[in-house]
Amino acid sequence: MTESSLIQVSMESWGVVFCLMLVIFILSNNTKQEKPEIKLLKCVVGIMFMLITDVLAAVSDNARTNIGYWLLIISNFAYFLSIDFTVIFVVDFFLELVPKEESSKFMIKEICYGVIAVAIALLIGNLWGGYFYVIDGNKYARGSLHFLQTIMHSLPFAVVGIYIVVNFMKIDVVYQRLFLTYVVTVLICAVVQEFTFGISLINFVCMFLVILTYTVLLSENNRRKFMRINEIMEEKKTVEPAQTNRSAACIVNPHFMKTSLESVYKLCDDNPKRAQKQVGAISNYMQGHLIAFNHPEPVTIEKEMEQVEYYLTIEQIRLGARLTVDYDVKETDFLVPMLSIQSLVENAVKHGIQSKKNGGTVRISTYSTKEANFVKVTDDGIGFNTMILHSGSYATKSINTLKEKLKSIDATLTITSEAGVGTEAVIEVKKKNYN
């Protein structure tokens, strides 16, 4: 064995080890492999068989035994056959990087497969014809048409290259550079090797390129995963507060439902008609909350006032003469978040009127100015110290939630109160066409 053959056998043996390590790494890296990684795995296996068979061919070259002679024939045939299959694997891999375009991909594959099928048929014929290579006196020698085999192996790369150039802008920039590096390097090596003899340069180039390819794939997959994680985190930051506010605004107070149903229970014997009215009001009230949860977009004043009336009907039946309601709805041509007025009315009844020994009156009015539309909810209940609104306590959660909802329609909420006098809450909805 010559010195150049020893160098080749040594380098290709290490190449087999590297390829085997890469196969193990790809298989163990993820339990569920992506399509490009599976196709790249086939390329690695193909190159590994190229290296193994070339080592066997180099070792058995110029052997003086019968076994060596047959090993030389088999290993050289297997080497060129493994090149044919590796070309197919590489073509499949690079076509996978082009998004969609399945019909045109199929046509390109048919052309490439056809070329390789002819190459395999000619390789089989070479066993008798000796036009690609010959085994002369137990020694490998190139045939007169060896260049034709190089052309047939390069042709699929050229076809795929043209296809990828046509679809260049559809491919990620990283894959564009990878393809150009791979194809140009392999084609240059194929031409150089056609005019030189000794060390199989293309084998080593393919091995290092496939390692580079997997490194790029792994890096790109990780980059996309991190980008997706960041997108999910950003979406979570946006969606969670909105979802929390929406849920908080639509939740029905369990204590309110308990007292409402208890009032129905008491009325069933004493006043069945009022009990029936109470059940209808509760049903409509609950339906309004369900609609608000599933369709959180703003509603007309008329629609919102329906929900307010259902709530106040329930409370008037429960509190009786202790609760008086006064409506003064002058302006209705604007939208408000659903349950916005109802939540202010609920606070007025719950924290203002209900806590007052003799009860009181809740007034709901709407009016308009040149700049904005207004909704005012007032009560003459017990009032409170407005400093509590800035405390961040649980009691102010519904108010803060309402303020967030009002921002979506460019509206604001102002609350004033005086202990022993009452509370006033005003929603100001700016007119969009006001300059």
Give tens-digit pLDDT for 395-407: 567 777 788 888 8
**pLDDT above 60: residue 245:** no
d(CA 103, CA 50): 31
Three-class SS state of 385: coil
What residues contact residue 71 under an 8 Å CB cut-off, 6+ apart? 56, 59, 60, 63
Is residue 313 located within the same domain as residue 384? yes
The verdict on 278 and 227 lying in the same domain is no
Closest-CA residue to 45 (of 72, 73, 26, 71): 26
Q: Is 242 within a domain?
A: no
245 falls within a domain: no
pLDDT tens-digit series, residues 206-225: 777 777 777 776 676 677 77
Structural domains in the chain (count): 2
Q: Does the residue 241 lie in any domain?
A: no
In angstroms, the CA 341 to CA 377 distance is: 8
Q: Is 248 a residue whose pLDDT tops 70?
A: no
Same domain for 259 and 389?
yes
Residues 71 and 116 in one domain: yes
What is the structure's pLDDT at 197? 59
Higher pLDDT, 273 or 249: 273
- What is the structure's pLDDT at 12? 79
Q: Which of 62-66, 237-241, 283-287, 344-348 has the lowest mean pLDDT?
A: 237-241
> Is residue 279 domain-shared with residue 424, that is, in the same domain?
yes
Decide if 355 is inside a domain: yes
Say if residue 131 is in the same domain as residue 187.
yes
The Cβ of residue 121 has, within 10 Å, a number of other Cβ atoms equal to: 10
If asked whether residues 142 and 262 sit together in one domain, one would say no
Q: What is the CATH number of the domain that holds 414?
A: 3.30.565.10
Q: DSSP class of residue 364?
A: E
Q: Between residues 242 and 357, which one has the greater pLDDT?
A: 357
Average pLDDT over residues 334-363: 87
Predicted local confidence at residue 273, as pLDDT: 80
353 within some domain? yes
Q: Give the pLDDT score at 251.
A: 54
Sign of the dihedral through C-alpha 252, 258, 262, 263:
negative
Please report which helix (H) or strand (E) contains residue 411, including its range: strand 411-418
Domain edge (last residue) among 233, 259, 274: 233
pLDDT tens per residue across span 39-70: 878 888 888 898 888 888 888 877 777 888 88
Together in a domain, 398 and 328: yes
Same domain, 227 and 259: no
Express each pLDDT in 65-120 by its tens digit. 788 888 888 988 998 999 899 888 888 887 877 776 677 788 888 888 999 999 99
**pLDDT tens digits for range 183-196:** 677 777 767 766 66
In this structure, are 19 and 91 located in the same domain? Answer: yes
The answer, yes or no, to whether residue 238 has pLDDT greater than 70, is: no
Is 246 part of a structural domain of the chain?
Answer: no
Mean pLDDT taken over the chain = 79
Residue 65: domain span = 3-233
Question: Which CATH number goes with the domain that contains 115?
Answer: 1.20.1070.10
Do 179 and 292 have their domain in common? no
Position 244 in a domain: no
Q: How confident is the model at residue 32 (pLDDT cuts 50, 70, 90)?
A: low
| Of the residues 233, 260, 291, the one at which a domain ends | 233
Same domain assignment for residues 65 and 127: yes
